[in-house]
């Protein structure tokens, strides 16, 4: 059985790590390079770096900052934000990235998933899905959660898997930043619909929430931000607690 992964996330705006609730009310959470170094030492399995305003500001990812973070860590490193072409991905890989995360560009041009998977391998391509429950339906949102689409989350998850995505980063916008627990039902339905790993994001607040998302939500990995940034939950401690629940964890 594959080990369950714990992944801290650096949401980047103006070169700083930020965190909000339900994608708004952002506050500063520290220097990205310092946090990245700390997470490597604390036993994080991977690190995700999301330039959350790149698409909205119609610009590329902050590549110099990506290089600094990549140089500071020795764990798999995923970068997202403002990526819309094969050339964008190539530049990020050359900067030290292991995987890229695409969202808005994939919705706008689904063939991009196929192109990136063919060029770099599916293991390099993570499709991020920002989902919000609207009038009884789970709908995909783009542009940092600001633009709703008519795409239903489960159907879109199936499509991105078929097109060659290697993983799905599923964020429940309704749960984001609440620390009230992950979206168990949504994550479980997405995981059942696809044959690729699903990273659950949004709502992790304590060790029990992580146990729940692995046991009941069927997630392959769990991502969180503020609880790690502010040391409300420490990664080493979390992994030890999960191991006590007989979950396959890399200690």
Annotated catalytic residues are 11, 130
DSSP characters over 138-167: EEEEETTTTEEEEEEHHHHHHHHHHHT-SE
List phi, psi (to 5°) of 94.
-65, -25
Pairwise CA distance, residues 12 & 65, whole Å? 10
CB neighbourhood size of 109 (10 A): 14
C-alpha atoms less than 13 angstroms from C-alpha of 10 in its C-beta half-sphere: 31
- The β-bridge partners of 78 are 48, 99
Place of tokens 């994550």: 187
State the SS3 of 21-88: ECCEEEEEEECHHHHHHHHHHHCCCCEEEEECCCCCCCCCCCHHHHHHHHHHCCCCEEEECCCCCHHH
List phi, psi (to 5°) of 87.
-65, -40
Helices (H), 194-225: 207-215
Tokens of 34: 């310092």
């Amino acid at each position: 059985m594959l080990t369950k992964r714990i992944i801290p996330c650096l949401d980047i705006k103006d070169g700083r790590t930020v965190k909000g609730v339900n994608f708004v009310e952002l506050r500063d959470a520290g220097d990205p390079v310092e946090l990245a170094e700390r997470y490597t030492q604390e036993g994080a399995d991977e690190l995700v770096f999301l330039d959350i305003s790149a698409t909205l500001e119609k610009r590329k990812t902050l590549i110099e900052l990506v290089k600094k973070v990549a140089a500071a860590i020795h764990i798999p490193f995923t970068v997202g934000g403002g990526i819309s072409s094969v050339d964008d991905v190539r530049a990020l890989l050359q900067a030290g990235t292991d995987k890229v995360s695409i969202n808005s560009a994939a919705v706008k041009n689904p063939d991009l998933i196929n192109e990136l998977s063919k060029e770099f391998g599916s293991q390099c391509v993570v499709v991020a899905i920002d989902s919000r429950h609207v009038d009884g339906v789970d709908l995909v949102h783009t542009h940092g959660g600001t633009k709703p689409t008519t795409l239903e989350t489960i159907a879109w998850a199936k499509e991105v898997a078929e097109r060659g995505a290697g993983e799905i980063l599923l964020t429940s916008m309704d749960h984001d930043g609440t620390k009230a627990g992950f979206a168990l039902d949504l994550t479980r339905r997405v995981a059942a619909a696809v044959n690729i790993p699903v990273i659950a994001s949004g709502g992790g607040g304590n060790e029990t929430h992580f146990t729940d998302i692995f046991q009941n939500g069927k997630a392959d990995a769990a991502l969180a931000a503020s609880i790690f940034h502010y040391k409300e939950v420490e990664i080493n401690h979390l992994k030890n607690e999960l191991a006590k629940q007989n979950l396959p964890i890399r200690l």
